[in-house]
Amino acid sequence: MDATAALVFEDQEYTGAELDALADGLAATLTARGVHSGARVALMSSNRPEFVVAVRALWRLHAAAVLISPAWKRDEVAHALSVTEPSHALGDQAVLAELMPMLSLDEPITPARGRYRPPSPEADALLVFSSGTTGMPKAVRHTHGSFATAVEHWRQALSFTAADRIQVLTPPSHILGLLNIELALRSGAWVRLHPRFELERMLRCIEADRITVEMAVAPIALALASHPELETYDLTSLRYIMWGATPVTVGVAETVTRRTGIGWVPAYGASEVPVIACNPADGTRLDSVGRPVPGVDVRIVSLESGAPVEPGGTGEIEVRSASRMAGYLPTAATAQAVHDGWYRTGDVGYLDADGWLFVTDRAKEMIKVRGFQVAPAEIEAVLHGHPLVADCAVFGVPDPADGEAVVAAVASTGPVSAAELIGLVADRLATYKRVRQVVFVDQIPRLPSGKVLRRRLEERYGRTSDE
């Protein structure tokens, strides 16, 4: 393996200079197509080096990349385009090409050398999508300044240096995937990008590439813990495994540590503030998501009054940082999430007297599946489109593999099968939003205001049929 390689993808290796030349070449092509400073460009791509090149080419032109998940289907992509109104598109997904003219990343990129001045820290760099509880996903706007700050916070939290080696198995269209790629490239470290998650390949690459920092969401952690031959792999190069996106399942984490000797670094973040808290890399605990990283202020406020509470008091977690998003699109949604500079996470927790942060619940009704946020309202809108669905409510239940599983409670006006409703959602929405189980009820429990009593549904149907 070439020691000078910066990015590796399967059997392809790219030095930093080669990535720069490709980004310069693609930037020239995009300029010829009319992409200009301040433009928004939709980018819908599978995991591939051209994704990295495309993002960096757009940044050279002071354009913002609208990152659309390659798992999304037509209605979801159409919504993303209507919210962000990009002027151009590039990627490798047919669904995007059907909705607007798209420059294909399958076309060869001619390396070039150009001169581009750095963008302003206040200019938009990224728009990533975060679901809300009241409708379709919102676009989270990150400036070059906020994203650069997030990368620096991540570097400090993980004690990451140019000597580290990391691999990325999660989609780079998700904020964590891109954060890890940029962490490595900006640190002068080595990164392997995978086309998809495959457990055996992940383990083989830790061994062969001498990976030092591994990232894991709940399904990866569970797969590691249950692997029958985990002890046969040489994982001694790892300094730790980072657990993010969902709370740590202590039993799973401890099983992996017992079988491998590798410890865990729990961390906590959001699309809106990518790095909030992290355990120290040289000594972890599994019950807390860590202390707020330097440069991030965290406070707990009362769920009733909104006033800050004393240490140890439980309430909503609010965050203030230079890494915080610039706002949402649609812009009207920003005021509900940010006040006086503080971002309302929607998560419930507490800070102890020593500054350790504990996440205990969620105020939002989001369902977290494999680290992805799933909005109940989005699935409910699809189910309401069925002529025999009188009312419905979607909620999450614990799932050992995915963190949470999606369950739909449905009140129908006639005979309709669970399989039919599950198929309806599967045809319209991304795979990770699939309904695992449908429970038929006489009526959906609601308050007089019409608000669904999801907690009551969760308590009654807290186990899925798969368990």
Is 179 within 8 Å of 154 (Cβ atoms)?
yes
Q: How many CA atoms lie within 13 A of 425 on its CB side?
A: 26
- In angstroms, the Cα distances linking 176 to 137, 251, 301, 313 are 17, 24, 27, 30
Q: In the structure encoding, which two tokens stand for residue 452, read together?
A: 């669904």
Q: In the structure encoding, which two tokens stand for residue 464, read together?
A: 């899925």
- In angstroms, the Cα distances linking 14 to 18, 32, 99, 184, 430 are 6, 25, 32, 13, 32
pLDDT recorded at residue 345:
92
Eight-state DSSP code of residue 325: -
How many residues are recorded in the chain? 467
93 Cβ contact partners less than 8 Å away, ≥ 6 residues apart: 44, 45, 46, 68, 70
Q: Which residues in 11-38 are b (16+ Cβ under 10 Å) and which e?
A: eebbeeebbbbbbbbbbbbbeeeebeee
Is 37 within 8 Å of 62 (Cβ atoms)?
yes
State how far the Cα of 424 lies from the Cα of 386, in Å rounded to an integer: 8
State how far the Cα of 403 lies from the Cα of 22, in Å rounded to an integer: 38
pLDDT recorded at residue 463:
53
Q: In the structure encoding, which two tokens stand for residue 317, read together?
A: 């977690």
Structural domains in the chain? 5-260 (3.40.50.12780), 367-460 (3.30.300.30)
pTM score of the predicted model: 0.84
Per-residue pLDDT 10s for the chain (467 aa) are 555 899 999 999 999 999 999 999 999 999 999 999 999 999 999 999 999 999 999 999 999 999 999 989 999 999 999 999 999 999 999 999 999 999 999 999 999 999 999 999 999 999 999 865 445 689 999 999 999 999 999 999 999 999 999 999 988 898 999 999 999 999 999 999 999 989 999 999 999 999 999 998 877 887 898 899 999 999 999 999 999 877 787 888 999 999 999 999 999 999 999 999 999 987 778 989 999 999 999 999 998 788 999 999 989 999 999 999 999 999 999 998 999 999 999 888 999 999 999 988 766 677 888 888 787 878 988 998 899 998 899 999 988 888 899 999 999 989 999 999 999 999 999 999 999 999 999 988 876 556 678 878 988 887 544 33
pLDDT recorded at residue 222:
79
Q: Which residues in 56-69 are b (16+ Cβ under 10 Å) and which e?
A: bbbbbbbbbbbbbb
Q: Angle at CA 152, nearest 5°, toward 148 and 157?
A: 145
320 Cβ contact partners less than 8 Å away, ≥ 6 residues apart: 296, 297, 299, 341, 342, 343
pLDDT recorded at residue 467:
36
pLDDT recorded at residue 131:
62
